[in-house]
Amino acid sequence: MISVIIPVYKEAENIAAISAEVNRVLSNAGFEHEIILVDDNSQDGTEKICASLIKTLPLKLIIRKQNKGLSLSVIEGIENAAYQIIVVMDADFSHPPSALPQIINTLLKDKADFVIGSRYIKGGDIDKNWGVFRRINSKIATLLTKPLTKVKDPMSGFFCFYKKSMPDKKILSPVGYKICLEIMTKGNFLNIKEIPIRFTDRSKGESKFGLKEQFNFILHLIKLYLFVYPNIKQFILFSAVGASGFVIDISVYVGLQKLFNANHILARGLSFWVAASSNWALNRNITFKAENKSLKLKQWTFFLIASLLGFSANFGIYYFLTKYIPFFEKYLIAAFIIGIFFGLFINFILSASFVFKKNKSDK
């Protein structure tokens, strides 16, 4: 019933022990199982060791020759799984095999559709030898996933789910290490549970997690954010348009005075309209290209109203912060910047939900 997927890279020292232990625990608990080692062509004797292990253990070895990667290996292992329940774990005993029955039984009996072996819930723990840097690093990484999931330890590499709920390969973008986070956010899981595990660092071999993987993680996060919040793309475009508007605003303001000797109050009043109109045209044709069906004059008017409301929010926050919070009295520029972002955000919400909304009755 259970397919245990273990990605391995240069784990020759660990595979015999981990395979035997997983087999022992699952046999004792009465689970029919297979163990799939997915090796990225380590060339460290893994193949030979497996050839002998296969005589006594329900073991399969997949050797990949292209596109090296932890996440890709796990996906390939899952594709080749014969059974309906998938467990993914590391080869280096960081994930205690003794937790296997609990992780599987939680899936079977607790109406969960995804179960994670978690370091950050009661009863779970990280390795005592982790230095301050690794602890903080792990905490920050976890914090960055908060807008994506409520799970306490989404960075875990120890998890279990039904093969049938594996998300379509077409929507997966497996960069780097965090395959649990990837499957969890892209699949349709309604009841994700965590069981506590004590994570221990490997005693044999080396971790492959380095600077490159940190960078991959940032790339991965960006992809996941765009997946969960497709509006982010629009928000970025909207901000860029806003920045261009700022440049136009200043240019017109200065230009009118220098070139036409205009009064500065008049210049200030006029430049806003030019900048806001340019923002409107750019947003209509770029940011909200697919939604720009509404009548031009009406949309322009609404956009200006949204811009004014955005500015009011910007000004309101600035006023509030600098008047009531001593810190900002000292650092006015900080309040100024927060105000800009807040105003931009309000303007965006109004634009996306009202100004540029698809409206069938409009032409």
Contact 94, 166 (CB under 8 A): no
Considering the rule CB under 6 A, would residue 38 count as an interface residue with ligand GDD? yes
Contact 258, 219 (CB under 8 A): no
Q: Which of 2, 4, 11, 145 binds ligand GDD (CB under 6 A)?
A: 11
Phi, psi of 41 (to 5 degrees): 50, 55
Binding string, residues 190-209; x marks residues near Mn ion by CB under 5 A: ------------x----x--
Minimum distance, C-beta of residue 126 to ligand GDD, in the bound complex (Å): 8
231 binds, among ligand GDD, Mn ion, none (CB under 5 to 8 A by kind): none
Question: Based on CB atoms, which residue is closest to ligand GDD, 68 or 169?
Answer: 68
Report the alpha-carbon distance of residue 55 to residue 8 in Å, rounded: 20
Report the alpha-carbon distance of residue 305 to residue 291 in Å, rounded: 19
299 binds, among Mn ion, ligand GDD, none (CB under 5 to 8 A by kind): none
Residue 199 CB partners (closer than 8 Å, separation 6+)? 94, 95, 119, 124, 125, 126, 127
How many residues sit in the footprint of ligand GDD (CB under 6 A)?
Answer: 23
Considering the rule CB under 6 A, would residue 155 count as an interface residue with ligand GDD? yes
76 binds, among Mn ion, ligand GDD, none (CB under 5 to 8 A by kind): none
34 binds, among ligand GDD, Mn ion, none (CB under 5 to 8 A by kind): none
How far separated are the first and last CA of the chain, in Å rounded? Answer: 58
Find tokens 């608990």 and name the residue. 29
Question: What residues from 90 to 119 belong to the interface with ligand GDD (CB under 6 A)?
Answer: 90-92, 94
Minimum distance, C-beta of residue 51 to Mn ion, in the bound complex (Å): 25
Distance, C-alpha 145 to centroid of its chain: 6
Residue 215 CB partners (closer than 8 Å, separation 6+)? none
Q: Which of 24, 68, 111, 135 binds ligand GDD (CB under 6 A)?
A: 68
Considering the rule CB under 6 A, would residue 73 count as an interface residue with ligand GDD? yes
Binding string, residues 221-260; x marks residues near ligand GDD by CB under 6 A: ----------------------------------------
Report the alpha-carbon distance of residue 42 to residue 45 in Å, rounded: 8
Question: Based on CB atoms, which residue is closest to ligand GDD, 114 or 356?
Answer: 114
Report the alpha-carbon distance of residue 28 to residue 69 in Å, rounded: 33
177 binds, among Mn ion, ligand GDD, none (CB under 5 to 8 A by kind): ligand GDD
Report the alpha-carbon distance of residue 163 to residue 187 in Å, rounded: 11
279 binds, among ligand GDD, Mn ion, none (CB under 5 to 8 A by kind): none
Find tokens 């989404």 and name the residue. 154
Question: What residues from 173 to 212 belong to the interface with ligand GDD (CB under 6 A)?
Answer: 177, 202, 207-209
Structure tokens at 255: 């230009």
Residue 232 half-sphere exposure toward CB, CA atoms < 13 A: 11
Point out which span in 63-71, 109-117, 168-176, 263-271 binds ligand GDD (CB under 6 A): 63-71
222-225 LR contacts (CB < 8 Å, sep 24+):
223/173, 223/175, 224/145, 224/148, 224/181, 224/182, 224/185, 225/147, 225/148
Binding string, residues 77-96; x marks residues near Mn ion by CB under 5 A: ---------------x-x--
Minimum distance, C-beta of residue 123 to ligand GDD, in the bound complex (Å): 17
Q: Which residue is nearest to ligand GDD (CB)?
A: 157
Considering the rule CB under 6 A, would residue 9 count as an interface residue with ligand GDD? yes
Report the alpha-carbon distance of residue 53 to residue 60 in Å, rounded: 10
**Binding stretches for ligand GDD (CB under 6 A):** 7-9, 11, 38-40, 68-70, 73, 90-92, 94, 138, 155, 157, 177, 202, 207-209
